[in-house]
Amino acid sequence: MRKSGVIFLLALLVVGFGCAPAMAVPDLFGWVFNIDGAISEADWYNTDFSGIDLSDATLESANDLGTLSLEISGVGNHTFIAMFDYEIDEWINTWYNENGTTGGTLAAGQSWEIDEPGWFFGDIYDHVLDGALDNDNGVPVGSEDDVSFAIGWNFFLEADETATISMLLSDVAPALGFYLQQYDPDSQESVFFSSTLDVTGPGGEPVPEPATMLLLGTGLVGLCAAKRKRLIKK
Ligand SMILES: [Ca+2]
Ligand SMILES: [Ca+2]
Ligand SMILES: [Ca+2]
């Protein structure tokens, strides 16, 4: 009884290890940044971000995932777009068996696009160069193909303000905020792309997010409207 139990356990272990799926590894095939109209790009598995001023310029070499961030300053309107073209398990099940989805709620000033990278039918690459994403998914579930994705920010900076944009590329969905998901249904592995925008003032103090400012603005407009109505009634 005891012996057969041990054999059963061993058998389970062997079956368990035998069935363990190979770790899926995403490869970053290409990337493009549009920073106020200046284009930086690389492809063919180039994960060296030379040519662009990223404060953390390397993704983890094991899986091409991690966090990248950069700072933008200067009075006026700014446009920032980052596009990434990952392949999940390309050598096992190709790069064109994948789909995209979105999750969470888009922040004020944020835009996005999921599409075929532009080799065949996708218009994402042209949109990145043009500085305006279409907020549309060209590679949804059921229309699997080569997936790439992009997130953009449009924002205004006052004098002495600095915007810090972070891009998180992970195999785990972010707990908060808007994200894009690239999914390989055969590997059942994903790459998630999310981004944050933080603005700081001259002393480094945080400036309210555009979303907060928008809400404050709406509230003030509402207060003024209510006041005016009351005045008219009198
Ligand atoms: Ca794949
Ligand atoms: Ca598109
Ligand atoms: Ca791809």
For residues 165 and 196, is the Cβ–Cβ distance under 8 A? Answer: yes
C-alpha 190 – ligand 3 centre gap (Å): 12
| pLDDT score at 230 | 41
| pLDDT score at 11 | 42
C-alpha 209 – ligand 2 centre gap (Å): 28
How would you classify the pairing of strands 179-184 and 99-103? antiparallel
C-alpha 166 – ligand 2 centre gap (Å): 23
Cα separation of 98 and 218, whole Å? 41
| pLDDT score at 44 | 63
Which ligand is closest to the CA of 111, given by its number?
A: 2
pTM attached to this predicted model:
0.79
Residue 203 scores a pLDDT above 90: no
**Token representation of residue 102:** 């979105």
C-alpha 217 – ligand 1 centre gap (Å): 46
**Token representation of residue 50:** 């030379």
Which ligand is closest to the CA of 95, given by its number?
A: 1
DSSP code of 183? Answer: E
Residue 33 scores a pLDDT above 80: yes
Which ligand is closest to the CA of 189, given by its number?
A: 1
Find the farthest-apart pair of alpha carbons in the chain and give their distance in angstroms, rounded. 93
Among residues 227, 221, 182, 204, which one has the least CA distance to residue 27?
A: 182
Cα separation of 186 and 176, whole Å? 27
Which ligand is closest to the CA of 97, given by its number?
A: 1
C-alpha 51 – ligand 2 centre gap (Å): 26
What are the pLDDT digits (tens) for 47-88?
667 667 775 566 777 788 988 889 999 999 999 999 999 999
| pLDDT score at 222 | 46
Sign of the CA dihedral 184, 185, 187, 189? Answer: positive
C-alpha 234 – ligand 3 centre gap (Å): 64
Residue 124 scores a pLDDT above 90: yes
C-alpha 118 – ligand 2 centre gap (Å): 9
- Across residues 24-49, what is the average pLDDT? 82
C-alpha 90 – ligand 1 centre gap (Å): 5
C-alpha 127 – ligand 2 centre gap (Å): 8
The DSSP bridge partners found for residue 102 are 180
C-alpha 97 – ligand 1 centre gap (Å): 5
C-alpha 115 – ligand 3 centre gap (Å): 9
Please list, in sequence order, all residues whose beta carbon lies within 8 angstroms of the beta carbon of residue 211, skipping any fewer than 6 positions away: 107, 108, 109
Count CB neighbours of 57 within 10 A: 14
